[in-house]
Copies of this chain bind each other. A is one copy, B any other.
Amino acid sequence: MGKEKNTDNLSPEKIRKIRLKEERARLTDFQNKTAEAKLPVLVLVEGWAAAGKGSLIGKAIQQMDPRFYNVASLEVIREEDKRKPFLWRYFTQIPENGKFVFMDSGWFSQYADELLSKEADPQTCVKHLDSILSFERQLVDNGYLLVKVFLNISKEEQSKRQKALLGDEDTGWRVSTSDLEQNRRYKEYQETFNSCIAKTDRTYAPWHIIDGANKKDAELAFLQILNAEIEKALANRPGADSPLLKDHFPKNAVTPLADIPLADCVTTDKTYKSELKRLQKELRHLHNRLYRKGIPVIIAYEGWDAAGKGGNIKRLTESLDPRGYTVHPIASPLPPEKNRHYLWRFYNRLPRTGHIAIFDRTWYGRVMVERLEGFCSEKDWQRAFLEMNEFERDLTDWGAVVIKFWVQIDKDTQLQRFTDRQNTPEKQWKITDEDWRNREKWDLYEVAINEMLEKTSTTFAPWYILESVDKQYARIKALKIVIAELKKALGN
């Protein structure tokens, strides 16, 4: 803590003034230290309507340089938010390393509102709590400082403030009907807020209740909490270390890659042509139905270099309306991606309801290339199995169809295709030194991939193997699996 002035014999107002000055200066200082330490800070400001959340954030950022923070106003749920999974509007707003994001209302109040809503589906509420808990734990585990405050005012105080706002036409619009409802049903809201706080209070992401009755006191309390949390985090960033059964996701038995028979997986040219046509036509029809029913679809492709991912994807998309799907080729992350939770860039590529997103390489890079090249720590990739399962669970909870393909070939086939690419001028751009380097690590990759398949083949998002020594066979198989999964989702 900084040096504190001697405040004996001073009035409470004077003391508060001195403390405020100290805390403001500390925050200015901490923003620079936070940037140096590359610590990302997410400050969630929740509380009653008219409690003064906005002005609290306003006071804090006045001490900071605009390069170091963002304010995210998430009170209003927009059209686009409704077409994305629950966490999307929050996950896409998380700060970069070294920066602050102040969220004015977030997942906490959305969840509480759902509980209080008359039309809420209890099962959805249960799922959203799961999402919140894993989200907060993941943030902390991935190096984020998460500061959660709740700004509290009494029923009488809220009513008084709302009346004052409504008295002026320029501020009256700020009081929504649901704000007024909050005051009418104050007791009920209070119980729900309390229960939500209890459910989401964790040692690694504790709640701080701030009394909002007096604005200056609230500001001081907020700055003190913020500064204390930053100071602690700068000294020590231990991760959540939550007592979880890390393998608690149901898994399918998985055949190790080396034992997958490939030789018999062939198709004739004639069968291929007729099957392809028939299946593509069927897929096109299903795509229309998906769109109408608003079901989002995520198809993830992983596989050895030169296994035939690109061509396989092409056969899926060939018959689809381009306005309803997007193919996302995943390369190395750009700086704004690298400086955030590794799932952030995938959240930013999620489809809208009714749309299909196809990923050519995926978030599983975390437990393959990042693991093998040392781009993340062992702890990071060990933890990632659970994190990715949670990510996919959130997607399927949202109603998405998640299909994961591992495109499999043997080592000889890869060599043959590499050589072929090198010898064909139009294909040379497809083969790089990196491909050859990766090939040298085949056995290490095989260990990593087997572990990945075993730990992330969940009931809700299983892996499918596409035997692709005969690429035509793999394409037909992929189409059939996609069609079967879509039919299941459409209920026939």
Contacts and interface: CB of A to CB of B under 8 A. Distances in A.
Contact of A78 (B75, B79, B314): B79
Contacts of A174: 288
A369 B155 CA distance: 56
A292 interface: yes
Given A61-B322, A71-B323, A321-B54, A329 B66 contact: yes
A190 interface: no
Interface in A316-375: 317-318, 320-323, 326-329, 331, 334-336, 360
Interface string A256-295: 0000000000000000000000000000010011011000
A413 interface: no
Residue among A58, A73, A169 with max Cβ neighbours from chain B (10 Å): A58
Contacts of A80: 78-80
Contacts of A334: 335-336
A318 B62 contact: yes
A58 B320 contact: yes
Contact of A170 (B66, B171, B285, B322): B285
Contacts of A171: 288
Interface residues of A, number: 49
Nearest to A74: B323
Contacts of A336: 334
A314 B62 contact: yes
B317 A62 contact: yes
Contacts of A429: 32
- Listed from nearest, the 10 A-B pairs whose CB atoms lie closest are A66-B327, A170-B288, A73-B323, A58-B322, A67-B329, A71-B322, A79-B79, A170-B289, A57-B322, A54-B321
Given A58-B320, A66-B360, A170-B289, 7 more contacts: A54-B323, A66-B313, A67-B331, A70-B326, A79-B80, A80-B80, A168-B288
